[in-house]
Amino acid sequence: MRRSLFLAVATALLCAPCCVLAQASASGPDSGISDQTKDEPGHSTHLRGDRALARSADDFGREESKTATTRPLAEGGHVDGDCETKAGGSHSDDAGSTPGETASTRGDARADRARCRKLTDADIVTAPIAEVRRATRHQGVIGGRTMAYTATAGTLTLRDDEGKPTASMFYVAYTAGDDPRRPVTFLYNGGPGSSTVWLHMGSIGPVRVRTDSPAATHNAPFTLGDNEDSLLDKSDLVFLDAIGAGFSRPLGDTRLSAFWGTDPDIDAFARGVERYLTINRRWNSPKFIFGESYGTTRSAGLSYRLQQDGVQLNGVILLSSILNYGRRDPGFDQELINYLPSYAAAAAYHSRLATAPSDVPAFLRQARDWARGPYALALAKGQDLSDAERRDVASQMATYTGLSTSYLLASNLRVTPGRFRKELLRDQRRTLGRYDDRFTGIDVDEAGEAPEFDASDAGITGAFVAAFHDYLARELDFQTELSYRPTYYSAGMQWDFRHKAPGQGRGGGDTSEADVALDLSAAMRQNPHLLLYSLNGIYDLATPFFGTEYDLGHMQLDSEVRGNVRFAYYPSGHMVYLNPEALKSMKADLARFYDEAALAR
């Protein structure tokens, strides 16, 4: 009996180290891989999952082979034995319990070891330096006609003047046929800090997400289908994402701050446009740029930069414009004047006027005249405005804005957009949307001074973002391990609005707040064939249409060139295309514009 017991104990002592080592080798994040390959001598294990798939899809280069290991890696991929002892145990802590050890303390030890492990460069997701192209064939119905087209999702590698790669710019291009004389249009949203998901998925591309605007859009599943009002029948379309947004990223040691400003952003887009023209042999095609919101700021500056680079544009399309940020500086009243006709449009839409206008365009013309006349004069007088004049102006202002005379007097005749959005429907406990004041929201605090959120933004974002991700994977078959950023506002980094405008000593030079109307004016004077189309939603409280008229009316264009500027207005907001009827009208207007601008003259 004693002999049997002695043999059993001896056997246990001899086998224990093997058991401990076997159990230790199965622990850690790669234990699943280790289990699958430990019986295959000479097998080299590849990292699996989304990252490995994306590296292949993005053509990063040859996938690196890594052998599964159970010991933590330090920086550079070296084993860091200290990570196993820093947690308060030996390499074999996971093999079994020690006296006094609980499940909780064992979990803490594992967490400590995990925190101790360091990442290698291969673990960090980066954009590809080598350009990626993924082309798929499609057909859709545009204008009642079935049309075949190619969709290409890919990246453009931007390089500085020394040839160093500085950024990877993501794009989706839609092309029909191979006629080099076919127009090509470059489109982008603004922000600054926004991707182009909004224009791409909602406006004039070959597919469009359906929303419930001006109500908040229903929950998933969302509807994405052919866009009858696409501009693809008139022009190839290239949707570009700004660096830092979407899938666009800086490369190597180049920081995002190198692109985070008016002038470096213009430079990046110029390089992106020219790179696309080069690799796709489109230099001799009629060329257009189409920007929305801050994208119009970009377009105005880009029109001049491209002109200097020898890229002669046929047309510039501005949707919901802001060309001069200086007018928003404190102490200037021009922006208040610019907003008044937009307030009038909102008040009419929401039935807040004493007498509903029978002809809204005519009513808005009256509002413009009053804003640039009696209202502008009253604000210019400042504190010298008499009490009688103040009461008279407040009374007239109430007939256009739907706000009470007492509120206008208490506001010193100066109502900011945020306060207007809160005040107009305060008695209904409703607020107005900023991008589209047809939308209404509900705040917790009825007595607040400004809306707690933008109902027009919250009402559509989920549909656009979800539809894009689904479309990218199912239809465009584009894979990447990068996260798509619909918008990106980096903490602690401010956009640099400084701008060096053309015409040093002639009204140009350095400006602390971008005034790119100067650039657009110079481009149109240097290229008298360049046509400009300004598209405006009358229910836009982000970029008021009267402000656009002011900016474009101060480009000091000669009468010979002034006829190249056209305007269009739609019963919609900042994103005109959210109103299907407005989109249909906008497409018809653009088709006529392209027929004229693309002709050789």
Evaluate if residue 321 carries a pLDDT over 50.
yes
Q: What is the mean pLDDT of residues 571-580?
A: 98
More confident of the two residues 115 and 380: 380
Tokens of 601: 């003259």
- Taking only the tens place, the pLDDT of each residue in 151-179 is 999 999 999 999 999 999 999 999 998 89
- Distance (Å, whole) CA 265 – CA 244: 11
- Distance (Å, whole) CA 38 – CA 30: 12
Backbone region of residue 139 per phi and psi (left: phi > 0; alpha: psi in -120 to 50; beta: other values): beta
More confident of the two residues 598 and 431: 431
- Taking only the tens place, the pLDDT of each residue in 474-518 is 999 999 999 999 999 876 778 999 999 897 555 556 888 889 999
Confidence of residue 561 (pLDDT cuts 50, 70, 90): very high
Evaluate if residue 454 carries a pLDDT over 90.
yes
Evaluate if residue 446 carries a pLDDT over 60.
yes
More confident of the two residues 435 and 114: 435
- Taking only the tens place, the pLDDT of each residue in 465-475 is 999 999 999 99
Q: What is the mean pLDDT of residues 280-309?
A: 97
Three state DSSP letters for 442-475: CCCCCCCCCCCCCHHHHCCHHHHHHHHHHHHHHC
Tokens of 208: 């469009």
Task: Measure the CA dihedral 166/172/177/180, to 10°.
Answer: -30
Could you please report the per-residue DSSP string of 391-429? HHHHHHHHHHH---HHHHHHTTT---HHHHHHHTTGGGT
Assign 116 to helix, strand or coil: helix
- Taking only the tens place, the pLDDT of each residue in 24-44 is 333 333 333 233 333 333 333
pLDDT of residue 120: 67
- Distance (Å, whole) CA 248 – CA 191: 15
Confidence of residue 115 (pLDDT cuts 50, 70, 90): low
Characterize the bridge pairing of strands 165-175 and 249-250. antiparallel
* Alpha-carbon distances, residue 437 vs 212, 429, 576 (angstroms): 15, 15, 12
Q: The whole model's pTM is what? A: 0.81
- Taking only the tens place, the pLDDT of each residue in 330-385 is 778 999 999 999 999 999 999 999 999 999 999 999 999 999 999 999 999 999 99
Confidence of residue 600 (pLDDT cuts 50, 70, 90): low
Q: Which helix (H) or strand (E) is 561 found in, with range?
A: helix 559-562
> Cα 435 vs. chain centroid, distance in angstroms?
14
Evaluate if residue 232 carries a pLDDT over 50.
yes
pLDDT of residue 121: 66
Assign 496 to helix, strand or coil: strand
- Distance (Å, whole) CA 462 – CA 460: 6
Radius of gyration of the CA atoms of the chain, in A: 31
Evaluate if residue 249 carries a pLDDT over 90.
yes
- Distance (Å, whole) CA 501 – CA 511: 7
- Distance (Å, whole) CA 203 – CA 545: 19
pLDDT of residue 117: 63
> Cα 68 vs. chain centroid, distance in angstroms?
40
Using a pLDDT cut of 70, give the percent of the chain over it.
Answer: 78
Evaluate if residue 269 carries a pLDDT over 80.
yes
List the domains of the chain with CATH numbers: 133-327+462-597 (3.40.50.1820), 334-458 (no CATH)
Q: What is the mean pLDDT of residues 92-99?
A: 44
Are 34 and 47 a contacting pair, CB within 8 Å? no
- Distance (Å, whole) CA 553 – CA 540: 19
Q: Which amino acid is at 451?
A: P
* Alpha-carbon distances, residue 30 vs 48, 55, 79, 125, 230 (angstroms): 10, 19, 14, 19, 49
